[in-house]
Amino acid sequence: MKENLKKAKEILKKYHQDHIVHTLDKLEDEKQEEMIDQILSIDFEELEELYELAQKPVEIELSELEPITALNPKRLSKKVYDEFKIIGAEAVRDKKLAVVILAGGQGTRLRS
- Convert the pLDDT of each residue in 18-66 to its tens digit: 899 989 989 999 999 999 999 999 999 998 988 888 888 878 788 877 7
Residue 77, domain extent:
57-106
112 domain-assigned: no
* Domain match, 46 and 6 both: yes
The angle that helices 29-41 and 18-26 make with each other, rounded to 10 degrees, is 150
User: 62 with 97, same domain?
Assistant: yes
- Is 88 domain-assigned? yes
- Whole-angstrom Cα distance, residue 26 to residue 36? 13
Question: What's the pTM value of the predicted model, to 2 decimals?
Answer: 0.52
Q: Using an 8 Å Cβ cutoff, are 12 and 20 in contact?
A: yes
Please check whether residues 64 and 46 belong to one and the same domain: no
